[in-house]
Amino acid sequence: MGQNTITVTDSGFADAIASETPTLVDFWAEWCGPCKVMDGPLNEIAGENSGKLTVAKLNVDENPATMGSYTVMSIPTLILFQGGEEKQRFVGARSKEQLISELADYLQ
Amino acid sequence: MAEKVLIIGSGPAGLTAAIYAARAELEPLMIEGVERGGQLMITTDVENYPGFSDGIMGPELMEQMRKQAERFGTRIVSSDVTAVDFSEQPFKVSVGSDEYTADSIIISTGASARWLGIEGEARLRGYGVSACATCDGFFFKEKELIVVGGGDTAMEEALFLTKFASKVTIIHRRDEFRASPIMVKRAVNHPNIDIIWDSVVEEVLGDTLVTGALIRNVKTDEVTTFNADGIFIAIGHVPNTKVFDGVLDLDDTGYIVTEPGTPVTSITGVFAAGDVTDKIYRQAVTAAGMGCQAALDAARFLDETT
Ligand SMILES: Cc1cc2nc3c(=O)[nH]c(=O)nc-3n(C[C@H](O)[C@H](O)[C@H](O)COP(=O)(O)OP(=O)(O)OC[C@H]3O[C@@H](n4cnc5c(N)ncnc54)[C@H](O)[C@@H]3O)c2cc1C
């Protein structure tokens, strides 16, 4: 796993997303090929935007409660939180460039 | 300086082409596409790729191919090609605002799931609409699901989904399946699989999550509402050739036309390999074989012209 991202779990999830600094949560699983595609880009985005954006990984196999409360029904799903609220959601793998342009409003 | 060989796509065809081109010291540049590794990244066990007697996981196989291509010096750009200009040498390939030039091109952009194009389908994608049972089945534990289609993929998806769902209903527009007899038998005999024949899905229903579908019987024209928590579309594939439309000869279903048995396209120096040009075999090993042919032909072409 990338050294620039953090791991979040069901317990403490609310605290993890409460910050005014946007937190991008990556819902993933070991068996999900397209999720692996996102590892590199997410690690790079986290590294290049440290202080502006936190990138957190949540394993859906191990954290069913969070997956359920945000009705994640397909992975990879990325949800951007700020101040505890869901701001944006991205379903499906995408390139680093695409993700950066979609996140632009939050990376100022 | 123009690249010698530029490869578009990173499935078995593209990566095999890269291995051969790199070993021939053509220093290939690969634009790997957003769906890095191609279709096998969304499957679990691959049991028919030679050399792996116990089978291998799709993503693992693709990771190995990628490492093999990189080991011999393939350079990889992780984006989709957005436009091409093959009207003169060197050929031009654009990735957004970046432009690459190359003396020869190998196209291996594969194929993607076909969608129905009906109301509600795009809006509810990721909220109960899916085209990948192995990716999304997990999220439908004890739920009721619809699978649309009548080929091997539809049978496979339906059978796979019974691991999670309490009930799977296959909806098919004809009164018999196109799938192979062994797959049909498995699906028809499965206690948790129902089949609705002669019917098409007209609309996916649901506000924020899928709640069901409108189904029309094609013989009686009767429309009914069918309740379900998810709908998996398995109605075949479309070749990824949008950026080549009007540039290369495509057949009426969008596949790149090649000289039979070769990767040679309508433009000299541009080669095509794998599912993007093959609507018959569509296997990892045939795609890899065509990738090899394309690299060898590209090498010969470069030899003759430079
Ligand atoms: C669920 C599933 C299970 C399967 N199981 C098996 C199996 O067990 N055995 C078997 O032999 N076959 C299997 N297949 C079929 C096999 O996956 C395909 O035949 C094979 O992947 C085709 O390889 P390819 O290289 O032609 O294209 P693909 O694997 O489709 O790869 C296409 C590549 O092109 C890229 N691309 C697309 N558009 C662009 C663009 N504009 N710019 C840049 N890149 C682009 C994509 O990102 C991708 O990397 C399965 C397929 C599926 C969907």
CATH for B202 = 3.50.50.60
Q: Are residues B142 and B213 in the same domain?
A: yes
Q: Are residues B79 and B146 in the same domain?
A: no
* CA-based nearest distance B124→chain A, Å: 10
Q: Are residues B104 and B120 in the same domain?
A: no
- Among the listed residues A4, A6, A29, A32, the single catalytic one is A32
Catalytic residue status for B132: yes
Q: Which of A32-36, A46-50, B143-147, B171-175 has the lowest mean pLDDT?
A: A32-36
Q: What does the block give as tokens for A77?
A: 């799903």
Query: How high is the pLDDT of residue B60?
Result: 85
How many domains, chain B? Answer: 2
Q: Do A33 and B37 touch (CB under 8 A)?
A: yes
**Is A1 contained in some domain?**
no
Residues of chain B with pLDDT under 70: none
Q: SS in 3 state form for chain B? A: CCEEEEEECCCHHHHHHHHHHHHCCCCCEEECCCCCCHHHHHCCEECCCCCCCCCEEHHHHHHHHHHHHHHCCCEEECCCCCEEECCCCCEEEEECCEEEEEEEEEECCCEEECCCCCECCCCCECCCEECCHHHHHHHHCCCEEEEECCCHHHHHHHHHHCCCCCEEEEECCCCCCCCCHHHHHHHHCCCCEEEECCEEEEEEECCCCCCEEEEEECCCCCEEEEECCEEEECCCEEECCHHHECCECECCCCCECCCCCCCECCCCCEEECHHHCCCCCCCHHHHHHHHHHHHHHHHHHHHHHC
Residue B210 lies in domain: 115-233
Best mutation target among A63, A66, A95, A99 (most B Cβ atoms within 10 Å) is A95
Q: Decide which of B233, B259, B284 is a domain's last residue.
A: B233
- The pLDDT tens digits of the residues spanning B143-182 come to 999 999 999 889 999 999 999 999 999 999 999 999 999 9
What distance in angstroms lies between residue A34's CA and the mean position of ligand 1's atoms? 13
Judged against a pLDDT cut of 90, whether residue A39 lies above it is answered with no
Q: Do B125 and A74 touch (CB under 8 A)?
A: yes
CA distance B85 to B78: 20
What distance in angstroms lies between residue B160's CA and the mean position of ligand 1's atoms? 20
Q: Do B135 and A41 touch (CB under 8 A)?
A: no
Q: Decide which of B207, B233, B259 is a domain's last residue.
A: B233
Q: Are residues B108 and B242 in the same domain?
A: yes
Model's pTM, two decimal places? 0.80
Query: Is A55 within 8 Å of A41 (Cβ atoms)?
Result: no
Query: For a substitution probing ligand 1, which of B107, B109, B256 has the most ligand atoms within 8 Å of its CB?
Result: B109
Q: Are residues B134 and B206 in the same domain?
A: yes
Query: How high is the pLDDT of residue A33?
Result: 75
Query: How high is the pLDDT of residue B198?
Result: 97
- Per CB-CB distance under 8 Å, the chain A contacts of B37 are 33, 37
Helices A33-48 and A96-103, interaxial angle, to 10°? Answer: 60
- Among the listed residues A17, A35, A78, A79, the single catalytic one is A35
Q: Are residues B152 and B285 in the same domain?
A: no
Q: Decide which of B233, B251, B273 is a domain's last residue.
A: B233
Residue A74 lies in domain: 6-106
- Per CB-CB distance under 8 Å, the chain A contacts of B209 are 71, 73
Domain harbouring A25, CATH code = 3.40.30.10
Query: How high is the pLDDT of residue B268?
Result: 97
Query: How high is the pLDDT of residue A1?
Result: 52
| CB count in 10 Å sphere of residue B225 | 11
Which phi-psi region, left, alpha or beta, contains residue A80 (left: φ > 0; alpha: ψ -120 to 50)? Answer: beta
CA distance B257 to B243: 15
Query: For a substitution probing ligand 1, which of B15, B40, B132 has the most ligand atoms within 8 Å of its CB?
Result: B40
**Is A68 contained in some domain?**
yes
* CA-based nearest distance A73→chain B, Å: 5
Query: How high is the pLDDT of residue B23?
Result: 97
How many domains, chain A? Answer: 1
Best mutation target among A73, A77, A78, A91 (most B Cβ atoms within 10 Å) is A73
Catalytic residue status for A60: no
Residue B57 vs residue A78, higher pLDDT: A78
Whether residue B128 lies within 8 A of chain A, CB to CB, comes out as yes
